[in-house]
Structure 1
Amino acid sequence: MNPIDQQTTDRYPTSLRILHWARAVLVLGLLWAGWHMTGLNDEVASKYELYYPWHKSFGVLTFLVILTQLAVRFRTPSLPQPLETLEGYEKFLSRLTQRVMYVLLVIVPLMGYSMSSTYTMSDGVFFFGINLPELLAKNDDWFVVFQWLHKVLAYTLLGLILFHVAGALKHRFYDQDPRRDVLRRML
């Protein structure tokens, strides 16, 4: 089998590809909504009646998608290895970026949950109409810490996403060797 044919068959399983793209859409939507809603004036009714409840619901949904994706990854016996055509530093950056992104994809929603759970003026975390239990005591001092972590880590995640997308697009459109096209593996 020639290397280009092997690369097209060396794709991630369908379940992981679907979860990857679903997660991508959800995370980008949450990042946009979080940035937009925090920029709204507090007097704008939709900020607290629409944006925050939906941001929380989709945040929990995204967290569940991420946990599902991680479970499928761990249960999948063999995943595609980094392409041999990539340079050593590219393989290293790819693995590091992917691992840090997964860590942040778990931690950022946990910090959001912690914010809502500890804020004394919060009604808690709703998941599409279901009020989830609050596992942390109300404490506005802790809320400030969780709020800061949620914000800083979400922006860090956004930076890594941009780096991840730029790398995939570089290999797809800039590199002269089609065997370096990593995006093909996730399509």
Structure 2
Amino acid sequence: MSEPFRRGRGVKYPVPIRILHWLRAVLILGLIACGWYMAGRAEDDPTAGILYPNHKQFGILVWLLALVHLTLRWRYHALLPHAPETLKPWETRLSQAIHWLVIALTLLTPLLGYAMSSSVIDGDGVPFFFLSHVPEFLPKNDTAFALFQTLHRYCAYFLLACVVLHIAGAVKHRLQDKGGETDVLPRML
């Protein structure tokens, strides 16, 4: 693609990346809310039979979508808009760090959730939509389960913090710079 296409106001992300961005946003926020709700419930809560399997399979879906996202970023690399040149250097570095942390955490958090489910004694396995179950590769171990549970929880909270910073940055630039070069929200709409 030519350089004028890649730079300037009004440059949007390719449609597949925009769709994937909003789909992942809904799934991630939904999974965090569901996880938060589940963590406050007793193990014999009647909603556990619905929430836990769905949390697991949508977590696997988020992991797969993170892989798709990386593939699309690689495929459309030449079409991705640059960071606005008027951003302060620290804003550019923070934005890039948050984006890569979100990608990394959407890969890591579901893997830790899988490890937690795979290592729990008396677990139901890891369902995934129309497949009966994702194979469990880890041995059953209460100590490993507790470790993976803690790591999964902290990664989810860290992911939430990154999402909040991402949203705050977009809103800040939208409200402060509406229509300006650093108003980056239209690039993802």
* TM-score normalized by the length of structure 1: 0.92
Gaps of 5+ in 2: none
Q: Which one of 171, 178, 181 corresponds to residue 180 of structure 2?
A: 178
Describe the superposition over 1:45-88 as per-residue Cα deviations: whole angstroms up to 9, x where unpaired. Answer: 212x1110010111111111111111111122311110112111
Q: In structure 1, how many angstroms separate the alpha carbons of the residues matched to 2:32 and 2:178?
A: 33
RMSD of Structure 2 on Structure 1 (CA): 1.6
Identity across the alignment (%): 44
> Which SS does the other structure have where 1:6 is aligned?
coil
> Which SS does the other structure have where 2:47 is aligned?
helix
Give yes or no for contact 2:115–2:145 (8 Å, CA) kept in 1. yes
1:18 Cα offset (Å): 0.4
Deviates more, 1:168-177 or 1:138-147: 168-177
Describe the superposition over 1:123-147 as per-residue Cα deviations: whole angstroms up to 9, x where unpaired. Answer: 1100125211001111111111100
2:94 alignment partner AA: L
Give yes or no for contact 2:8–2:181 (8 Å, CA) kept in 1. no
1:177 Cα offset (Å): 6.2
> Which SS does the other structure have where 1:111 is aligned?
helix
Q: In structure 2, how many angstroms separate the alpha carbons of the residues matched to 1:42 and 1:156?
A: 25
- Which residue in 1 is equivalent to 2:18? 17
Q: Which one of 122, 137, 155 corresponds to residue 135 of structure 1?
A: 137
Paired residues, number: 182
Greater share of residues in helix: 1
- Which residue in 2 is equivalent to 1:76? 76
Taking structure 1 as reference, are residues 7 and 174 closer, same or farther at Cα in structure 2, changes over 3 Å only?
same
